[in-house]
Amino acid sequence: MEPDIEELARYPMESDDWIVTVAIGGVATLLAVFVVPIFVVTGYTVRAIRAGMEDAREPPVFDEWESLLKEGLVAAVITFVYQFVPTVVFGVFVGGSIVAFATGSETAAGLGLLGLFGGLLLWWVLAIVFGYVGLAGVANYARERSFGAGFDVAVIRTAVTSRDYAVAWLYVIALNVVVGVLAGALNVVPILGGIVGVFLSFYALIIAGWLLGDGFASATDTHVESTVDENTSVA
């Protein structure tokens, strides 16, 4: 998998509605505290992944809201299930550390601090591993449109052990690093810089979705043709 970086950077702008799409996505991200907008973003992510599987020339748009929210909810649940183990590990270590600190003993406090840092490190590693696998689960859901597909062990194992999916995932990580640096630079302008960074992040999410979808489809040999005319946006 060797994507054209320049074409990828322009990909979100290939749709005539790209400004509206990024605007809606950015606003939904900003309003994520109200929960429902989270499903708007995750639903769009599912469509972005599907666009990569279809090798779509244009990014998806925001429409068919009922379907979008449903897919977003399912994708969020799949992600939560995969992150359950890291979350439990985090809770156990943090809880144990708090108990140790509460004893007032210097020895217990030292052990609690060691356990806290060890737990955070283990949680970080597990979150990455389960996140890597979980994204494959979401991708398979995007392809099959079935909740159970998110946990199809055979398909997901094929994907996560393949070079194509791993490379796509690494590209997404690199993209996030670049966006993080740019967003950090924008933060020199208080508030406004942070807001612009959110919209930039959603722009990057469109690219990331395409990369993951393309990588997953290549890994599982399941590229499909878009059912949408090439002159229209993928939805």
Q: Over 50: is that where the pLDDT of 72 sits?
A: yes
Taking CA atoms, 186 is separated from 117, 176, 178, 180, 200, in Å, by 31, 15, 12, 10, 10
Average pLDDT, the chain: 90
- Tell me the average pLDDT across 220-227: 71
Each residue's pLDDT tens digit, 145-167: 999 999 999 999 999 999 999 99
pLDDT for res 114: 81
**Which of 61, 79, 77 is CA-nearest to residue 18?**
61
Q: Which pTM value belongs to this model?
A: 0.87
Residue-range definition of the domain harbouring residue 48: 5-85+130-220
Which stretch of 20-29, 34-43, 118-127 has the lowest confidence by average pLDDT?
Answer: 118-127
Q: Is residue 32 part of a domain?
A: yes
Going by pLDDT thresholds of 50, 70 and 90, the confidence category of residue 1 is low
Average pLDDT for residues 96-107, to the nearest whole number? 75
Distances (CA, A) of 233 to 35, 168, 189, 201: 27, 23, 34, 21
Contact 59, 14 (CB under 8 A): yes
Give pLDDT tens digits for 204-214: 999 999 999 99
Q: Is 183 a domain residue?
A: yes
Percentage of the chain beyond pLDDT 70 is 94
Query: Residue 230: which pLDDT band, with cuts at 50, 70 and 90?
Result: very low
User: Is pLDDT of 233 > 50?
Assistant: no
The confidence band for 187, taking pLDDT boundaries of 50, 70 and 90, is: confident
Q: Count how many domains the chain has.
A: 1
Specify if 118 maps to a domain: no
Lowest-pLDDT choice from 109-118, 128-137, 141-150, 185-194: 109-118
Structure confidence at residue 94 (pLDDT):
82
Amino acid residing at 138: V
Burial of 218 (0-12, 13-18, 19+ CB in 10 A): buried
Alpha helices, DSSP H only, in 145-231?
153-160, 163-186, 192-220
Looking at the domain assignment, is residue 117 inside a domain? no
Helix (H, G, I), strand (E, B) or coil at 225: coil
In this prediction, residue 225 carries a pLDDT of 61
3-state helix, strand, coil in the chain (%, to 5): 80, 0, 20
The two three-digit tokens of residue 221, written as one number? 């040999």
Position 104 scores a pLDDT of 65
Would 51 be classed as within a structural domain? yes
Min mean pLDDT across 30-44, 94-108, 122-136, 185-199 is at: 94-108
Q: Does residue 201 lie in a domain region?
A: yes
Please check whether residue 35 lies inside any domain of the structure: yes
* Position 110 in a domain: no
DSSP 8-state code for residue 147:
G
